[in-house]
Amino acid sequence: MAEVLLFHHTLGVTEGVRAFAGDLRRAGHTVHVPDLYEGRVFEDLESGAAHAASIGFGALVARGERAAAELPGRLVYAGLSLGVLPAQKLAQTRAGAAGALLVAACVPVTEFGTAWPEGVPVQVHGMGADPYFVDEGDLAAARELVADAGDRRLFLYPGREHLFTERGGPSFAPEAYALCLERILAFLERSDKDAADTP
């Protein structure tokens, strides 16, 4: 099955992040969840964002790169919100990426100084009225990323919640999460099949 490196969102490695990883593991996938906050967990986006800013986004991405360095090259890089930063950078710049799953965020490909690598599939998931995703440029970046590429897909869900995958949290959206998970599991199955078919 696929091997996934999953980066947590702005709140840290919450029970919701663990639950998401657990859903992928129950489908047979190997999932690594590095803690970029070194044990800190927050209850609201503002506090989590302030903590991330105090560390520095470059430093958080570097922590993600160190976590990846200890693992095989053929990984699916997955990020939830803030976690999209290291996930997207690794998918774009680390050789052998099997794919990318970007949830509730997407940054312009030019942010990491290179074009999106040919043959690396990606799914971007977000809520169509999420002000963080829509108003801060992530939706535009996602649309540019998937334009004219059959192996890159953007999925928009009804609603305005940012952390809609955060089971147990106030923004959890069960129907959107179920559909998102179904699409992600299909993506991972294809990724695993592609790996098996590669000589």
Whole-angstrom distance, CA of residue 90 vs CA of residue 94: 5
pLDDT value of position 175: 98
CATH number of the domain to which 118 belongs: 3.40.50.1820
Distance CA(8)–CA(18), nearest Å, equals 9
Whether the Cβ atoms of residue 164 and residue 157 lie closer than 8 Å to each other: yes
**What does the longest C-alpha to C-alpha distance in the chain come to?**
47
Q: Calculate the average pLDDT of the chain.
A: 95
Question: Which residues constitute the domain of residue 132?
Answer: 3-197
Confidence category of residue 130, pLDDT binned at 50, 70, 90: very high
Number of domains in the chain: 1
pLDDT in tens, 21-38: 999 999 999 999 999 999
Residues 176, 10, 20, 148, CA torsion sign: positive
Confidence of residue 199 (pLDDT cuts 50, 70, 90): very low
pLDDT band at 149 (very low <50, low <70, confident <90, very high): confident
199/194 Cα distance (integer angstroms):
10
Strand partners, 48: none
Dihedral (CA of 153, 157, 160, 162) sign = negative
Question: What pLDDT, on a 0 to 100 scale, did the predictor assign at position 182?
Answer: 98
Instruction: HSE, CB side, 13 Å, CA atoms: give it for residue 99.
Output: 25
Share of the chain above pLDDT 70, in %: 96
List the structure tokens of 30. 């190997």
Average pLDDT over residues 94-110: 96
CA angle 191, 79, 102 (to 5 degrees): 65
- Least confident range from 96-105, 143-152, 169-178, 187-196: namely 187-196
